[in-house]
Structure 1
Amino acid sequence: MGQAALAPGFSLNEARIGTVEGGESGLLVWKFGQLVAVLTRIDEEAYSTKGKWFLETGFGLLSGQHKNFDTIEEAVSWVGKYTFPSAANSAD
């Protein structure tokens, strides 16, 4: 996914997330340089969720939330709705 497809202020870093032995493919979601969420790629045939994205953990208003998304764009858009609105609100 190209950065141009992300909402302004967002960036992603690939990471192995230690939720299972060997880890899962995941992404760290940053907004204006602050880590706001950790997403994993669902690799389960059950429940027709393979290839979707799962919010493993979020910070701030996302704390305690868990949700599936069909695409990474959908996930980042949803995360954007529940995090601080702009860089003006972030600490330097």
Structure 2
Amino acid sequence: MSLRLQPVRVETGSGDEDGRLVFRDDALIALLVRLSDNHDADSGKWFLEAGFGCVAQERNPLFEDLEQAQAWFATR
């Protein structure tokens, strides 16, 4: 299994535009969005905006950094 994160600009309508498409073995499994300064204590953290298949969640998690997000994806 290999994970690949592809930088992407996300039109969220807010300052949260820095995103990553997450691929597992060439299949799209998630969209991560980096939270802007508008999110106070959570600024700079990565939010699972959308998860597909085995990473779909009822409550999407928040990650301190991309390394933490990748470790989480690896367990799914």
TM-score by shorter chain over 0.5: yes
Corresponding residue pairs, total? 75
Equivalent AA in structure 2 for residue 29 of structure 1: V
**The one of 44, 67, 75 aligned to 2:69:** 75
The within-5 A match list for 1:1-92 is: 9-21=2-14, 24-64=17-57, 65-82=59-76
Q: Which runs of 5+ in 2 are unaligned?
A: none
Equivalent AA in structure 2 for residue 28 of structure 1: L
State, as a whole percentage, how many aligned pairs show the same letter: 33
TM-score (norm 2): 0.84
Where in structure 1 do 4 or more consecutive aligned residues deviate above 2 Å? 44-47
Three-state SS of the structure 2 residue aligned to 1:55 is: strand
Pick the structure with more strand per residue: 2
Bigger CA radius of gyration: 1
CA deviations over 1:50-77 (Å, ceiling 9, x no partner): 1111100110122234111001010011
1:18/1:48 Cα in 2 relative to 1: closer, same or farther (>3 Å)?
Answer: same
TM-score (norm 1): 0.71
